[in-house]
Amino acid sequence: MHLSLTPDPTANGAAPKSLAVAPLLADARALGNLLSLGLRTIRQMDSAGKLPRPLKLNTRVLWCVQEIRDWLEAGAPCRAEWEALKKAKHK
């Protein structure tokens, strides 16, 4: 049996009006919001190699949200350590 604390919008037979889609990528400002850090702190951490390596799409610098979650689960290691952990995992 599945218990949920939120009401099921389809319980009355009606289709949901919209589906919320979680973002796959986050820019520095959104990453700061996710981590409860300021934009300047995110930029400093990135420059110091304390965050996972961001993706660069055209002129945008973005982080993969799932990678940030995995990085946090691993204890938020520095970039070099994180890259080594990812490499070892994929072997």
pLDDT digits (tens, 9 = 90+) for 1-36: 444 445 555 556 565 666 788 889 999 999 999 999
Instruction: Compute the CA torsion angle 18, 63, 33, 72 (nearest 10 deg).
Output: 110
- Angle at alpha carbon of residue 17, lines to 21 and 32, rounded to 5°: 25
For residue 60 the two structure tokens come to 């945008």
Determine the residue type at 2. H
Cα–Cα distance between 11 and 16 in angstroms, integer? 10
Percent of the chain with pLDDT over 70: 80
For residue 85 the two structure tokens come to 């952990």
Sorted by where each begins, the domain ranges of the chain are 25-89
pLDDT score recorded for residue 21:
85
pLDDT score recorded for residue 8:
55
pLDDT score recorded for residue 1:
41
